[in-house]
Structure 1
Amino acid sequence: MRILVTGGAGFIGSHLVDKLMEKEKSEVIVADNYFTGSKDNLKKWIGHPRFELIRHDISRPLFVEVDQIYHLACPASPIFYKYNSVKTIKTNVMGTLNMLGLAKRLRARILFTSTSEVYGDPLEHPQKETYWGNVNPI
């Protein structure tokens, strides 16, 4: 099985890659443009026969053959919307469309992660898992 992790050089993505490489026997492909992530987060896997790292901006189509996609590429912090709004929106909108299109074309399973930004400006800090925020997504 081949697994694609977008945003795999980021904090959450790199930890997911660690678990996939440790627990799975699958090939893991990471696509990241290092806008918010770092290649250093993946250095222990570079050169491993089941690991491939691709520097790629997912706002452009990606042509790889995979069975599963974990889509974590998303510069979600409000600071990115403020200082680089076009790139942030392109990554979130076009990147997600590209990953959904890839999944459809390959009949791959896709897991799309989100951010706490969907809940709006929280009234409590830190937020508990039961906190709905200012937006109820259900």
Structure 2
Amino acid sequence: MDTFVIILALCALAGFLGWQRFATNNAVATTSVRSPHDVRRTQEIVDAAFGGARAMLWTTASGPGNINKRRRGKDRGITMSIDIEAIPGGGSQVDMWASQTNVYFGLFVNFSGAVNSRKKAISRHLTS
């Protein structure tokens, strides 16, 4: 019975670490979204994704994007950068990525889930 519990615990740990690694890879990868909106309206939509109650969790930061938001938290949080460019013929292209991170154990990024959820929310709002 003890061996089974140990194997089960090791499998659960491996699953958790794999899930965290997947979330980390998604956070640091660039997510691109085409929006039918012009650059000004797209910027308003992106800004709104960090507003409301989330404004307490995210703050404006310096970074390489047109919009840079840092997740408040231990060890400087994570910075999400967003570039917005006009597309000839109308609409805009939005690129989102984690530009500043804290890496743990050489594998995991802090608050990667927060960046991934903001990417999904922004993508959903821009395409709807």
Q: Give yes or no for TM over 0.5.
A: no
Tell me which protein shows more strand as a share of its residues: 2
Rg: which structure is higher?
Answer: 2
Q: Which has the higher contact order (CA 8 A, sep 6+)?
A: 2
Tell me which protein shows more helix as a share of its residues: 2
TM-score (norm 2): 0.29
